[in-house]
Chain A
């Protein structure tokens, strides 16, 4: 149980285009989802917290107009990287909390590798 999927697993795009990444909880409802960014050989950096039906909360330094997050249902959150540039190339990972789980456990997706040319 508690499986999280991400799509696509990797994507290559041209500079200036937008890319959408989907994060789905497959076998549970997730009231809260998180988006992280990970640089090579580094830890995870929290970008934003996404709650179903409300606006995402962005961490300091993360441009909310560039990284658009939508959490329209209890099983789906999307991250759209708008007007992508090479410096946005990274590994993006989402996670989700099971609704009603009081232990705060986050279950992670497999990640999406974004390369901007």
Chain B
């Protein structure tokens, strides 16, 4: 069965600094990979996804993620963080069409002014 780890429970960065959120997965084949963001009391918004092709994926709000098969990772990056990026970020893995997601535990991002 697939699993997802997000090693960082909470990250604090200063506004304007760069950001990298880590995601590692365990799955035998090439998974479908997703990053979602959740603001307090809200649902999840899709930031980006990878399912095939170019391993560097661009998403909304200036985020990007890179799939590295050799490291079983799908880290999320942003070159310059804005205060509005403060939220909870979830990495998710899909095992293939029609299969359910497995979510990571989430990383809470705080942004200092």
| Chain A residues proximal to chain B, CB less than 8 Å | 4, 6, 32, 34, 41-44, 46, 49, 91, 93, 95, 102-111, 113
Contacts and interface: CB of A to CB of B under 8 A. Distances in A.
Interface of B: 32, 34, 36, 41-46, 49, 51, 90, 92, 94, 96-101, 103-106, 108
Contact of A6 (B43, B44, B92, B100): B43
Contacts, number: 54
A42 B49 CA distance: 22
9 contacts: A34-B100, A43-B104, A43-B105, A46-B100, A91-B41, A103-B32, A104-B98, A107-B46, A108-B46
Binding site of A, secondary structure by majority: helix, strand, loop or mixed? Answer: strand
A77 to B, nearest CB: 15
Nearest to A110: B43
A103 B51 contact: yes
Contact of B32 (A91, A104, A109): A104
Given A104-B99, A111-B41, 10 more contacts: A34-B100, A43-B103, A43-B104, A44-B90, A91-B41, A93-B44, A103-B32, A106-B92, A108-B44, A113-B41
B44, B49, B97, B106 — most chain A CB neighbours (10 Å): B44
Given A43-B90, A111-B42, A113-B41, A106 B101 contact: yes
Contacts of A91: 41
Contact of A108 (B43, B98, B108): B43
Nearest to B42: A110
Contacts of B100: 34, 46, 49
Given A43-B104, A43-B106, A104-B97, A109 B43 contact: yes
